[in-house]
Amino acid sequence: EDQVTQSPEALRLQEGESSSLNCSYTVSGLRGLFWYRQDPGKGPEFLFTLYSAGEEKEKERLKATLTKKESFLHITAPKPEDSATYLCAVRILYSGGGADGLTFGKGTHLIIQP
Amino acid sequence: KAGVTQTPRYLIKTRGQQVTLSCSPISGHRSVSWYQQTPGQGLQFLFEYFSETQRNKGNFPGRFSGRQFSNSRSEMNVSTLELGDSALYLCASRNPGHSSYNSPLHFGNGTRLTVT
């Protein structure tokens, strides 16, 4: 069964303390790995798409990387406004050619303390 | 550009009733997907519509259904509500292009459904 696992479930950091969030997946026919940020009471906000192993994307203090089995979201010198739940998701290409909906991990709840 | 709009934001229903949720996608986006989010299961795919046709469906019972109109707006219906249907229902749109399966989803802020 295709699975997406995120770790840790929760992470508390001091402002300026860099760290990484992990997203591991066991799927075949990967057609993209997506990172989202979700704030309380809101829908997920798109951050990055990664397509192939070795690819990296950056946006402000965030950098996403992808290997054949996992993705990392690196947060450099985070600020309190980076506090949110970070979700990763994969889209799979099925043998019939159709791609199903995104399969999401449970997310990492990140808290940045001032 | 306006984002994905979902109405209503909050809804309280009784077991056995039915409910209809509405979604207006980002202008120009022809694909609309629906997801259910609960604390225990996280985000789970319900279905996706493109040009008024259901393209994909997740593993949910037939009580969950949807449709898409010619202007790309979409509705989701849940019949015979159960307590376990209490969740945040999220709608997302995307603009399938050349690499249609890689285009990201853009989510609305959801409808919070409570079943009592």
Give yes or no for a contact between A76 and A59, defined as CB atoms under 8 angstroms apart.
no
State pLDDT tens for residues B70-83.
Answer: 999 999 999 999 99
Closest-CA residue in chain B for A107? B42
d(CA A91, CA B31): 15
* pLDDT given for residue B55 in this prediction: 85
* Interchain CB contact of B50 with A (< 8 Å): no
* pLDDT given for residue A2 in this prediction: 63
Radius of gyration of chain A, Cα coordinates, nearest whole angstrom:
14
Q: Is the pLDDT of residue B99 over 60?
A: no
Average confidence (pLDDT) over A19-35? 90
Stretch among A13-17, A87-91, A107-111 having the lowest mean pLDDT: A87-91
Test B44 with A104 for CB contact under 8 angstroms.
yes
Between residues B94 and A85, the one the model is more confident about: A85
**Angle subtended at Cα B95 by Cα B91 and Cα B101, rounded to the nearest 5 degrees:** 90
* Interchain CB contact of A96 with B (< 8 Å): no
Chains A and B: how many Cβ contacts under 8 Å?
62
* Angstroms from A38 CA to nearest CA on chain B: 10
Longest dimension (CA), chain A: 50
State pLDDT tens for residues A77-108.
Answer: 999 999 999 999 998 765 555 556 789 999 99
* Interchain CB contact of B104 with A (< 8 Å): yes
